[in-house]
Amino acid sequence: MNNTIFIFHGTEGYPEENWFPWMKEKLEANGCNVIVPQFPSPPVVPAKISEWFDVLEKYEKSINEDSILIGHSLGGIFTLRILEKLNFEVRAVVFVGTPIGVKPILNYDRDSSFSGFDFDWNIIKSKAKDFIVYQSDTDPYVGLENGKQLASKLNAKLTFVPNAGHFNKKAGYTEFPDLLEKLLEIIKIKK
């Protein structure tokens, strides 16, 4: 099987924003298949998780034991819900600036209405060989405690990046070399 890597954007996101195109290009140059789906994410009305699963249906056959899932912001919540439904373990999962219900969260009500913040952590942590959690102390949307608790619940190491904001273009993240390096290490270990 090949390394299929998914990148799931967040609220009001799209595949061509932030560090996603750069990461896609770098990973494809290393022989990976990279999928960055476009999910419906209206600016004011909360996104509906059922609609995101409808989009994912098109790619479901590409998710396998060698897959790596990356969720940015609300895309991380979606990734948690995917893991709850899978009946196998994926290679690795990365969460970047993901809200899990610990306030402050700027759009708490909107994010909560997407899927709620009640997760089955025992099932989730059994669905990947490796978990990586990125969080910053200057994220204007997601408080640092979200990353700390997410890492704790998954028995993962928190990769704390000072002054990284929400790991988006506004915070200067059009590239993400640290994450690329970690992904290439994971892929190399598998081979």
Domain that holds residue 180: 4-190
- Helix, strand, coil percentages in the chain from 3-state DSSP, rounded to 5: 40, 20, 40
Task: Note down pLDDT in tens along the chain; length 191 residues.
Answer: 578 999 999 989 999 999 999 999 999 999 999 999 999 987 767 788 999 999 999 999 999 999 999 999 999 999 999 999 999 999 999 999 999 998 888 888 878 888 888 999 999 999 999 999 999 999 999 999 999 999 999 999 999 999 999 999 999 999 999 999 999 999 986 54
- The Cα–Cα gap between 72 and 12 comes to 12
Token code pair at residue 156: 């993962």
Q: Number of folded domains in the chain?
A: 1
| CATH classification of the domain holding 58 | 3.40.50.1820
Total-model pTM: 0.95
